[in-house]
Amino acid sequence: MKSYSITDVGQIRSMNEDVVFASDIPVGNLPNLFVVADGMGGHKAGDFASKFALEVLLENIRGNREFNPVKIIRNAIEDANSRILKEAADHECMSGMGTTIVLATIVGHYAYVANVGDSRLYLIHNQDITQITKDHSLVEEMVRIGEISRDDARNHPDKNIITRALGAVKDVEVDFFDIRLVPGDILLLCSDGLTNMVSDDKIRDAILTGETLEDAGKKLIFMANDNGGKDNIGVVLAKPDTKEVEVC
């Protein structure tokens, strides 16, 4: 397994509310783990929410004796959601805080993916890039019902309004996906600070032309900043070794 993670404050914001995590080695009973979280909330609350969510997530996963990756991930996300809500209730300055989260673990031939919010996971397969997760956002809902086009969504004034987040409601709804991987596949997890600044095609090209995952990750950060860097940027890239996903 090879991976690389990087986050950047961008060109406009003074605080970085994105957190990233990448472990090629086991975390609890998960063989590896990759996470991006994008916090929201006033006066450091978003910064706290994303970091706290990751902290709780890791603590929960490390203590979970379950072996089913989906059950492990679901329990950890639900725990993080509950504890963010409690922190917000206990501290007035944290009221209204929340965070998106997208995470993945690769087990054998499969990647198991979960997301809440509009941070995304993409699969780069051969020469193609495919968004696996679905944004939980107002604009995405408008696209789904045909109210606006995909092109119009990129610059819509309400594109940052999300419809799901950790810390929003007691019973968080988590989307799960599983992807069969083949040799050469790469996973990209990222916050909207990348996808709002760089098109999917240019993201794909940067990853495919990068000499290493580190080179590709740094290139994505540069491109987002070069296009305005209007938000924090979080990027995680993961590529299984050929032997880990080779077809039997």
- Tokens standing for residue 22: 């990448």
Residue 34 makes CB contacts below 8 A (sequence gap 6+) with: 3, 5, 21, 22, 23, 103, 104, 105, 187, 189, 236, 238
Residue with tokens 């198991």: 112
pLDDT average, residue stretch 223-248: 89
What residues form DSSP beta bridges with 20? 36
- Check whether 150 has a pLDDT greater than 80: no
How far apart (Å, rounded) are the C-alpha atoms in residues 225 and 194?
Answer: 9
Q: What are phi and psi of 112, to 5 degrees?
A: -105, 125
The tens digit of pLDDT for each residue in 191-235 reads 999 999 999 999 999 999 999 999 999 999 999 999 999 999 999
- Tell me the pLDDT band of 160, cut-offs 50, 70 and 90: confident
pLDDT at 247: 57
Neighbours of 67 (CB within 10 A): 10
Distance of CA 157 to the CA centre of its chain: 22
The DSSP secondary-structure symbol of 95 reads: T
DSSP 55: H
Q: Tell me the pLDDT tens digit for each residue of 52-82.
A: 999 999 999 999 999 999 999 999 999 999 9
